[in-house]
Amino acid sequence: MRLTRTVLAAVTVGAALVGVSACSGSAGGASSASSGTFTFWDPYPQFDKSSGWARLVSSCGTKAGVTVKRTAYDTTDLGNKALLAAQQGNAPDVMLVDNPVVSTLVQAGILNKMGDIGVATNVVQSNIIGAGTVDGSAYGIPIGANTLALYYNKSVLDAAHVDPASIKDWNSLTAALRKVRGAGKKGITFSAIGTEEGSFQFLPWFWGAKADLNHLDSAEGTAALALWKGWVSAGLAPNDVLSNTQTTSWQEFATGQYAFGENGTWQLANAKKAGFPYGVISIPARAGGAAPAPTGGEFATVPVQKDSARYKTDAALVSCLTSDANLLSTDSTLSYIGPTGVVQSQQVDKAPELKPWVDAVAAARGRTSDGLNTRYPFISEQLWTAVQAALSGGKDPASALAAAQKAADNHKN
C-alpha cells in the first residue's frame, strides 16, 4: 500500500454520494459502442503516455480492435469521479481502483460481477481475490498485490549476534531487539501515524495475535497493542513512530542504524540503494509462523453501462491486462507480487529475492475481509485512534481498544 493508495479513498467516495445531483455532464466516461473508443481510468498519474504501462493499456485496446482513451487520476479523485460519472450515466468502460474501494462501489451499484461479463477469476489466489469479493461474487480482478514484511540490516544483526532465522515469534523478535539495543544500535521502526497507514502497519500484529476487526477490544487485540507500546516504552522502537508515515519510517531504516523496518514491496528498489546488506523476513505471528499482513494493490473493474454490448470488449481489455505475460511485466514495474501462482513462480525465477514477498502475500488478507466490506474505513479509523492513544500514553492498550470498540458499536447502531 503506497502512500497515495489508502482506504481513505473509500471514505471519500462514500461521502461523494451525498448531495450529488444526477445532472448531465462529462467526466471522461464511455462513448458509444460504434465509435471504437473505450475509456479507461487508473490511479497512476506518475505514468505518462511514453511509459510501459500506458503502452500496455494501448496495446490491449489494439488487440481488442478498439482505441483506448486512458485517464489517470489520484486515487481519491478517481473514486469520487467514478461515483459522479456513474450517476451521470457516463462511467468509464474499465477502471482500476484500490482494492478496499471495490466494496464501496459495489454498494453504490456501479460495478459488474466478473462472472457476468465472462472474466474468469478462479486462477487468482483466494486471499487476494477476497479483497474484491462481495457476497461470494468477485467484482474485479487484481493486477497484483503488495504487502508488508520486515526488512533487516544484516550488519546491525551481525554486530548484535542475532541470526534472523532465529526470529520465529514475538518473544524471539523482542529478544533480538534487546540484543541490538545492547550492542548500541536501534531496534525497529514502523508507521503508527493516525491515518490508514497506521492501521495498515498495525494489522499484521493484530491479526498475528488472532484478533478480529469485528472485536477490536479482544484480549488478542490488546496483546498486539501492548507489544507495540512495550517496544516504544522500552526504547526498542522510536517515539516518532507516532508521526511516521511509511516513507519516513523507511528513511529511518535507511540510515543504517536500525535492525528492522516494517515496510512493503514498494521499497525494494530503495533497499538495493541503501548501502548496507539487507534481507527480508515475514512479520512473525504471536505464537509463531507468518502473520497475515494486509494486501494492497488495485483491481480491474467494469462499471455498469447503459449499452451492455460494450461488455464483451471490456472483458477483452481486462483479460488482456491480467494475462500472465502482462501481469509479469506490470507487477515488475509496480513492485507488485503477481496474484497467481504462475506469475509468482516466474517472478521468483527472475529475482529469487522476491521469495519472502511471495510467502508474505500468500499469508496476507484483504482489509475488507471478515464481512466488514464498507464498514472497514470506520473500523480502521477507530483502530489507528486507539494505537495513537496507547503509544502516546493517553490510554493504556485495553482502554484505548475498549473506546474504539464502543465507537464501532455506536456507529453500527
| pLDDT score of 71 | 96
- Has residue 24 got a pLDDT over 60? no
Task: Supply the DSSP string of 311-328, one letter for each residue.
Answer: HHHHHHHHHHHTSHHHHH
CATH fold group of domain 8-145+296-363: D-Maltodextrin-Binding Protein; domain 2 (3.40.190)
Grid cell locating 111: 460495478
The residues, ordered by sequence, that sit 6+ positions from 11 with a Cβ below 8 Å of its Cβ are 377, 378, 381
| pLDDT score of 60 | 96
| pLDDT score of 21 | 25
Residues 247-257: pLDDT tens digits? 999 999 999 99
Picking from 210, 211, 355, the residue whose alpha carbon sits closest to that of residue 289 is: 210
Mean pLDDT of 272-289: 95
- Percent of the chain at pLDDT > 70 equals 91
State the average pLDDT for the chain. 89
Mean pLDDT of 73-86: 83
Q: What whole-number distance in Å separates Cα of residue 241 and Cα of residue 391?
A: 9
| pLDDT score of 369 | 73
Mean pLDDT of 299-317: 95
Mean pLDDT of 163-168: 97
- Percent of the chain at pLDDT > 90 equals 73
Picking from 212, 129, 219, 192, the residue whose alpha carbon sits closest to that of residue 379 is: 212
Kindly state the greatest CA–CA separation across the chain: 71
E strand or H helix at 141: strand 141-142
| pLDDT score of 31 | 45
* CATH class for the domain made up of 148-293+373-412: alpha beta
Mean pLDDT of 157-182: 98
Buried b (16+ CB within 10 A) or exposed e, 146-170: bbbbbbbbeebbeebebebeebebb
- Has residue 393 got a pLDDT over 60? yes
Q: What whole-number distance in Å separates Cα of residue 229 and Cα of residue 236?
A: 10
| pLDDT score of 27 | 37
- Has residue 312 got a pLDDT over 90? yes
Model confidence at 269, in pLDDT bands (50, 70, 90)? confident
Residues 51-60: pLDDT tens digits? 999 999 999 9
The residues, ordered by sequence, that sit 6+ positions from 178 with a Cβ below 8 Å of its Cβ are 187, 234, 236
Highest mean pLDDT among 13-27, 272-286, 367-381: 272-286
- Domain ranges across the chain: 8-145+296-363, 148-293+373-412
Model confidence at 90, in pLDDT bands (50, 70, 90)? confident
E strand or H helix at 152: strand 148-153
Paired residues of 94 in beta bridges: 40
| pLDDT score of 178 | 98
Residue 139 three-state SS: coil
148-293+373-412 matches 8-145+296-363 in CATH topology: yes
pTM of the model as a whole: 0.82
Cβ proximity of 274 and 261 under 8 Å = no
What are the φ/ψ torsions at residue 170 (nearest 5 degrees)?
Answer: -65, -40
Instruction: Give the N- to C-terminal CA distance of the chain in Å, as an integer.
Output: 31
Model confidence at 23, in pLDDT bands (50, 70, 90)? very low
Cβ proximity of 236 and 188 under 8 Å = yes
Model confidence at 96, in pLDDT bands (50, 70, 90)? very high
Paired residues of 153 in beta bridges: 278
- Has residue 33 got a pLDDT over 70? no
Residues 110-140: pLDDT tens digits? 999 999 999 999 999 999 999 899 999 999 9
More confident residue, 397 or 104: 397
- Has residue 398 got a pLDDT over 60? yes
Cβ proximity of 367 and 380 under 8 Å = yes
| pLDDT score of 77 | 82
Q: What whole-number distance in Å separates Cα of residue 66 and Cα of residue 183?
A: 63
- Has residue 41 got a pLDDT over 90? yes
